[in-house]
Structure formats: structure tokens, C-alpha cells
Structure 1
């Protein structure tokens, strides 16, 4: 059982979305920029993508979890700490250590990664509208936990080996927590979240165990 009702969750989400406007379109623009950087490949592209992902995790941890979600669920204090930690890890690994490099050879991992990115940015909001939860009742891309996690898994699937394994731990944990809650809250667009970690983590591990032949076609 959750410590809050579906109505309380939606009311909290509405209050959050209305308070942070216009951060939603800014977050979407940042996500689009990350995709452009992945395709364009200018100098500093990898570090800029890492920064974009990190900002999404930090914002979601601090603003969504700590400032808003704690009003209906005190466990959000822990969730927020998880998201802030993931943001810090992305900065450390992607910016300072330069351990995140994107643009690997096409294969199954890349196909799934592209699908996750497309789902988080395009299909996720469309599915929410179709299921009767338009904005502001919609978990918005880039500023709420579930689409941020799916989007991040997409980019981690697109990362070249070797990938620091600890970057997968918190997204995987949240995929189980948030994905399970989605069924109880009636948020069908989040159902993929539960499967995202189960799909992405083994696929990354398998494809990165063959670094010279990341073209695992399945």
C-alpha cells in the first residue's frame, strides 16, 4: 500500500507542474539538444550530454522529491537523495572523468536505447493524454522521475564501453520503485519504467562484455 492516494498524487503533481512552469518546455529543449549532440557530435558533446542528464536528475531530486513529493510521502527524502547522488555521479563520470562516450555501433542495445529515448520524449506524454491525464496532471519530461529514468537508460544504452557500472544502480532501483507504484496509481505511461531497468541493465552488461563487437543484434 502507498502512503497516499491516487487523487493526492495527481493534486501534488498539478501543484508542482503549475509552480515550475515554464521549466517543462526548457527541459524538453534540453532533451532535444542531447539528441542533437548525439547525432551532430561536436567537440564536448559527450560532456554536454552528461551535464544535461545530471541536471535532470538533480532538479528532480531537489525540486520534485524534496520540495513537493515529501508533502505526501516522507520517503521522498530518500528518493531525492538517490536522484541527487545520481546527478553527482553523472557529473563525476561524464564531465570530470570523461567516462561517458556516446555513439556506439548500431545493434540491439542501440535500437532499444533509441526506443527508450523516443518513448520518454514523445510517446510518454501522448500516452498520458490518451489515457486521460493531460497536463498539468501529467508527469512532465525532464522534471519528473519516471521519464527522466527512462530517458537516461536510453542514453546509457547508447554509451560506448566501458560504462561505469555504478551509473546503473540508482536508475535500476528507481525503475522497480517507480514502476511498481505506477500500477497502483493508474499511470500507464510509467509501466514501461518497470521493464526498462530489467531490459537495459542486462543488455548493457551483455553488450559491454563484447566491447569490440557491440553489434549484438539479438
Structure 2
């Protein structure tokens, strides 16, 4: 697959994003860390979590895709629109009378969620270590850590938010494929996250059928 931009152009997008928006990216990281810790401690902040995820997707759509990535890839306009759609869906989930619950239990599903969410928070440091030095590196608020953080919290949602997983799952394929072509090793986790989501959904459906039989 041939990308419509060079690796240098791709890295220059991160330089522009990081230089202009680093205070907002740091603030988003801090808020996300605090929210995750509160969920792990059993705090009922369900609406806050869904609305935070909505902010993540709106931010990645507007501040990354529209504002910067579109300058080297026309498809970023489509990507940004899809990200805004996911933001609206998550915002609606957070404003409903009975919002989705986010809880942590000692189950494999919830532990997978924690690992993905923690990886997303560690993403900026990992990218600076394994990909490129700052500011030529993806940091927080860009699509890939946004997707990983979201999927991680989906694994901790009750009832599970799998009806909203189509767009994050799509990005695990798009972002994961681009990561392979560009050698962004930190984004290889997207492909793993996609496999985990599909495996869980299939296993859940099989279990439902067995229970109904």
C-alpha cells in the first residue's frame, strides 16, 4: 500500500502539533490519568468517563486530523469526520438518563482494559524512546493513543460499550496498517487491540448461544 505522504512529512505533522498544542495535550493526559485512577478505585464517575472519551475523539478529529494531518493527507478530512461521529456517540452515551457504567473487577476482561488504558497513558514516553525524539513523535491526543485508551475503557464498561466499538475497531486497522508501513512500533499495539476486541465479541456471542441452547 502506497501512502500519499512521505515519512518526513508525517513526522513534520507531529512537530507542528506538539509545538502548538503541547499544553492541551498535557492537560488531557493528566485528566485521563486521574479519571482512570478514580475508576480503578471504584468511584462512580460514569458520565465523566463517557464525556472524557467524547473529548478525546473530538480533539483527535479537530486538533489532529483537521488542523494538521489534512495538510498531507486528504483522507484526514474523512477521518476527522468519523472521529467526530464517535465523539457524538460517546457524548450521547454519557448524557443518557442511565449512563454506561465503568467499573474495575478482577476479571480477564477488566485486566485487559487496564493494560490497554495504561499503555495509552505511557504512549508518549514509549514513542519518544522507541520511535523518534520529541517533537518528531506522536504524543497524547493523537488518534492511536486515543483509540487504545477508549478500547481499554470499553473493556471495563458495564454493559459493555461494544455497540460503539465499530469506529475504534476501524482505526485499529487503519492506524495499525500505517504503523507497519511507517515503522511506528508503538502503534503496533493497535493491531493487538483489534484482535482482542474481535476475539472477545466472538467469544461473547458463542457463550450467548451456548447459554440459550
Residue matched to 2:139: 140
> How far off its partner does 1:205 sit?
5.5
Residue matched to 1:20: 21
> How far off its partner does 1:164 sit?
4.4
Residue matched to 2:86: 86
Establish whether residue 69 from structure 1 lines up as the match of residue 66 from structure 2.
Answer: no
Q: Which runs of 5+ in 2 are unaligned?
A: 209-213
Counterpart contact for 1:46–1:102, Cα < 8 Å: yes
Once residues 103 and 52 of structure 1 are traced to their aligned partners in structure 2, the CA distance between those partners, rounded to angstroms, is: 15
Establish whether residue 131 from structure 1 lines up as the match of residue 130 from structure 2.
Answer: yes
Once residues 103 and 38 of structure 2 are traced to their aligned partners in structure 1, the CA distance between those partners, rounded to angstroms, is: 10
Q: Which runs of 5+ in 1 are unaligned?
A: 212-218
Change (3 A) 1:39 1:104: closer
Deviations 1:42-85 (A, max 9, x none): 45x00001111110100110111011110000000110011100
Counterpart contact for 2:131–2:137, Cα < 8 Å: no
> How far off its partner does 1:204 sit?
4.7
RMSD: 1.9
Counterpart contact for 1:102–1:158, Cα < 8 Å: yes
Runs of 4+ deviating beyond 6 Å: 208-211
Secondary structure of the equivalent of 1:59?
A: helix
Establish whether residue 5 from structure 1 lines up as the match of residue 6 from structure 2.
Answer: yes
Once residues 146 and 83 of structure 2 are traced to their aligned partners in structure 1, the CA distance between those partners, rounded to angstroms, is: 10
Deviations 1:126-146 (A, max 9, x none): 3322224132122112x1000
Counterpart contact for 2:42–2:104, Cα < 8 Å: no
Once residues 27 and 185 of structure 1 are traced to their aligned partners in structure 2, the CA distance between those partners, rounded to angstroms, is: 26
Secondary structure of the equivalent of 2:60?
A: helix
Counterpart contact for 1:70–1:76, Cα < 8 Å: yes
Question: What TM-score, normalized to structure 1?
Answer: 0.88
Change (3 A) 1:112 1:164: closer
